[in-house]
Amino acid sequence: MKRAEVIAVAVGLALGFAGCVAVQRVNSAIDCSGICHRYASCFSTAYDVSGCADRCRDHAATDDTFRVKAEKCNTCITDRACASAVFACVSECVSVVP
């Protein structure tokens, strides 16, 4: 009976960890999509938003520093006009979008 309990706990922990990773990826997808759409609306309607979001998500999934930077960029540009975001959010967004 003790072995079954250990296996149950191990499976529970593994599922919990997998859930945390999935939430992090979903959050990255939401942030990346918003950042890329905002860049397109402010600078170029012909900008490849889908490609930008894919690159951003891939980078965020493998690089925690980049993910944090993308989150800071998204926070900075939220509720700002394009002109204001350009000047106020350069350091947060410079490596996230071109």
Least trusted range by pLDDT, from 25-34, 44-53, 85-94 = 25-34
| Cα distance between residue 28 and residue 15, in whole Å | 20
Structure tokens at 3: 């072995």
For residue 44, count other CB atoms closer than 10 A to its CB.
Answer: 11
Q: Distance between terminal CA atoms of the chain? A: 58
The pTM of this model reads: 0.67
CB 77, CB 93: distance < 8 Å: yes
Q: Which residue has the higher pLDDT, 90 or 29?
A: 90
Report the pLDDT averaged over residues 59-71: 92
